[in-house]
Structure 1
């Protein structure tokens, strides 16, 4: 499953989605590329709008429906929910395939840094932009969003305060559509703020922010609007919004349907869905290759699998040295080969950085302190007082037993957990795997720290440092997305410095210094970066392996050629 970071990164539960058939067999006969190469081009069957038919329903598989339609609320950070929200809520910027960012002209006429000291931003809202209740988007929406997300009122259960906490004030400019944002502290990745934008009414009270949008989005402003939310049938349909002022979407509607991971290939073959994310499933890759009318598309994407450790006082893993010792007992290369080896042409590459992914110029492998070394792991465990008695180590009469929580049904998560269980047994640690329903996984387990170890996918963005702050920053007053409650003042300081550094090179260097400290803390163990492959119906245009262009997806021009 997948999740995001900050109000920017997204978490997934190890994903696999689906598609329908039409035309000839897949053109992909050989294996997929590994994580070599540079971030860049998408693989989406690009077609001029004139060649995409008007109308049609695109059927999109998801792991779960949103726990909250407020993406900024702690329960709202699920990646599937974000994909639905982005069809109907304003994204002020578009993230492109090569990880650059441009203004979304449907919502903004202009955005600029008017002053660098103090840092002042000026936004000019598109005068045509209207909320579904008929009111114009205005500076007041920006102000309300800032006030709810800046961390001053703890009653607001926010997923992250990064960037918003650095703002001194939000003011009206010459008109209601002119916004002036003044920072009290410099914030480099400011293009990640205020997206998706929400109406001021949602932030009118903590109760409204936390619970008011749990069941449905109340006010929207996008090319689509809610058609139907059927929690019994486990689907959400969005339909064209006739009030939309921008280019008319090609599709009539998009149906997001919950499909269990093991069932996506069948769902695509049976025409129940129109694509799926292959993720790290060799079974789904093999099935997709043999399907008539289905094409496998691939592009480097900011999507990686990892294991989160719990450092809270209630967890057996509260000691950072113990967490690092266990990391040294986990062979991520073996796990990566087991999951991806049969799919790739070359060797699968493990990921050694928490901020920068393979293919980016800022990437450095900082993982040496926690790299796999079984004998070193045993020695460190001995030194910590965890002595081997039979097959399992003990300390002060307590077994070294770790509870590893995974979502089910999810063959990928199950396979990773069993490999970890086998590997840690060799160093004297017992792993109890607890499989819980996918729909409960985040809300009842991950979000509330109800695990010792757990795993899912982080879906990163073009603003990785600010996105990552909520994951690695230790704030006693708020969990944010630091589900394992692990951190240090040193990491906090480096992240603050990095987020306030406007020079790109210096900012990346600071983030890499923070990454080294994060490894020393035994915070999270990245495993592998996914190949970025999807199986998609061959007649689908302007959609597929989108690389970084997933915030938002191009819901306007995607559609069918036949």
Structure 2
């Protein structure tokens, strides 16, 4: 299933990019800027497989290990977990750097839309594809996954029902490897579903779906398989699966190691890891530039930094007008300048849209209702009855204090939260910053709504509607990824219309209409668009700044140059 996947750093969302191609190696020793990264172009040191060494270990840093190896569970939809899971489980479609998608021939030989009313999609699976227990991948796996994620049984703790809820039935075609999917109503982004695909046994019962894969993946079907899961050493190793029927990986193994953000530079310098995302860390950027054998690669990044507001009854921010008033006291341009000013050519990009980023032809700034205006913020807070008494505001004896939860250690989250605290103090809002361990941040705080404000990144897919609906759609039966429980009937109805709209122009218009309502609801505040830079060993081929080519990464072609 395609939905936004969370990153415990300091950034969020993205949208579809444009042209295609791959760029060759280039010198990025200067400042990062739009003249160095083009839409739809990855910067990966493209290398023919014949020129890569056979074998080797890629040392990959992560913020955390998977809380659940079921990506579709509410605790499983986290970026680091997804990156590990996609080495070992099937993705039937793959995203390219320009956000287009194509069938993954190792699993899907062909597909056909045989009817549009009702919408019927037929998949022809690769007959060689099989699970690690020897069972062929079949239509039954698709049927079980569709049912488990449909929302029909609330005992399944899904992170999203988008798309699956629109499926009427999944049937066997001529053979077990022919899948016939009939939709109750059109679903424009149907290619976002079944990513990753799981065996039917995992989806058979709520107990297995929710808890059966917490400790380990029981069955795999990818180019790699699990070699070791060491919670004490905080690492997961996947090794080449010799029984894989597709193209064999060049690497012997990939080791995913949990590394604190503050330790990334040292870990890269001493060889503990082979690359790291720079994000908006100027210190990491400066150190990486001077490291021998390390280069900086950059591509337009499909994510941006954001602050999620909690609108649940348990939060002081459950009042929509109060959320918007508080937003108006936060100066995103100043934050972007402070974080990215030394890494960009010109102004750092803030975004006025939750769905389409700056540079996308469908982008429009819809933020006026909640954009920074200190005097307006003060006036709106006064009108709501929050009166200034000393440094901070009170109403009916209660202080206007918000709890800002951030992952720790994380220098970027720390810096942003302190800037926000200073800015909101100027309008009389007290901010209590609560750093929590990185491993607990999502599971014990974000996922369960244990915050007033929370900062993290969302990494988008090529499907802007289906990847965002779980975030902004208010579902009375499930939180999905709407961690702040903010929304309304109008947003839901617009999503329902956009989901079935097959005309690209009309669908984009509906998405911008949704965005306006999201701003009005005070759902979350985008901060800045990420530069998309990565520091990486210069002898690594076919990996680097990937653009949208992340679902999954092309793991089999990553390797070390001769």
Q: Taking structure 2 as the reference length, what is the TM-score of the superposition?
A: 0.96
Matching residue of 1:386 = 386
Q: CA deviation at 1:39?
A: 2.3
Q: CA deviation at 1:112?
A: 2.0
CA 1:383–1:38 in 2, change beyond 3 Å: closer, same or farther?
farther
Do the aligned partners of 1:34 and 1:349 also contact (CA within 8 Å) in 2? Answer: no
Task: Measure the CA separation in 1 of the matches of 2:432 and 2:240.
Answer: 47
CA 1:526–1:38 in 2, change beyond 3 Å: closer, same or farther?
same
Q: CA deviation at 1:8?
A: 2.1
Q: Does 1:128 align with 2:123?
A: no
Q: CA deviation at 1:120?
A: 0.5
4+ residue segments displaced more than 6 Å: none
Task: Measure the CA separation in 2 of the matches of 1:7 and 1:246.
Answer: 23
Matching residue of 1:141 = 141
* Structure 2, unpaired ranges of 5+: 12-24
Q: Does 1:14 align with 2:13?
A: no
Task: Measure the CA separation in 1 of the matches of 2:353 and 2:549.
Answer: 21
Do the aligned partners of 2:92 and 2:194 also contact (CA within 8 Å) in 1? Answer: yes
Deviations along 1:337-384, one digit per CA (max 9) or x if unpaired, are 000101112210101111112232221111111110000000000011
Q: Secondary structure at the match of 1:143?
A: helix
Matching residue of 1:539 = 539
Q: Secondary structure at the match of 1:464?
A: coil
Task: Measure the CA separation in 2 of the matches of 1:214 and 1:187.
Answer: 31
Deviations along 1:166-216, one digit per CA (max 9) or x if unpaired, are 010000000000000000011001110011000000011100000000000
Q: CA deviation at 1:26?
A: 9.7
CA 1:49–1:362 in 2, change beyond 3 Å: closer, same or farther?
same
Task: Measure the CA separation in 1 of the matches of 2:480 and 2:199.
Answer: 22
Matching residue of 2:556 = 556
Do the aligned partners of 2:401 and 2:430 also contact (CA within 8 Å) in 1? Answer: yes
Do the aligned partners of 2:470 and 2:480 also contact (CA within 8 Å) in 1? Answer: yes
Q: Secondary structure at the match of 1:239?
A: strand
Task: Measure the CA separation in 2 of the matches of 1:380 and 1:466.
Answer: 34
Do the aligned partners of 1:35 and 1:529 also contact (CA within 8 Å) in 2? Answer: no
Q: Secondary structure at the match of 2:443?
A: helix
Q: CA deviation at 1:531?
A: 0.3
Task: Measure the CA separation in 2 of the matches of 1:398 and 1:52.
Answer: 64
Q: CA deviation at 1:303?
A: 1.2
Matching residue of 2:454 = 454
Matching residue of 2:444 = 444
Q: Secondary structure at the match of 1:369?
A: coil
Matching residue of 1:254 = 254
Q: Secondary structure at the match of 2:297?
A: strand
Matching residue of 1:468 = 468
Q: CA deviation at 1:34?
A: 4.5
Matching residue of 1:341 = 341
* Structure 1, unpaired ranges of 5+: 1-5, 17-24
Do the aligned partners of 2:341 and 2:348 also contact (CA within 8 Å) in 1? Answer: yes
Q: Secondary structure at the match of 1:350?
A: coil
Matching residue of 2:524 = 524
Q: Taking structure 1 as the reference length, what is the TM-score of the superposition?
A: 0.96
1:107-506 aligned at under 5 Å gives the runs 107-506=107-506
Deviation larger for 456-465 or 6-15? 6-15
Deviations along 1:65-115, one digit per CA (max 9) or x if unpaired, are 000000000000110000000001000111000010111101001112111
Do the aligned partners of 1:15 and 1:277 also contact (CA within 8 Å) in 2? Answer: no
CA 1:37–1:276 in 2, change beyond 3 Å: closer, same or farther?
closer
Task: Tell me the matched-pair count.
Answer: 549
Deviations along 1:515-559, one digit per CA (max 9) or x if unpaired, are 000000000001111000000000000000000000000101001
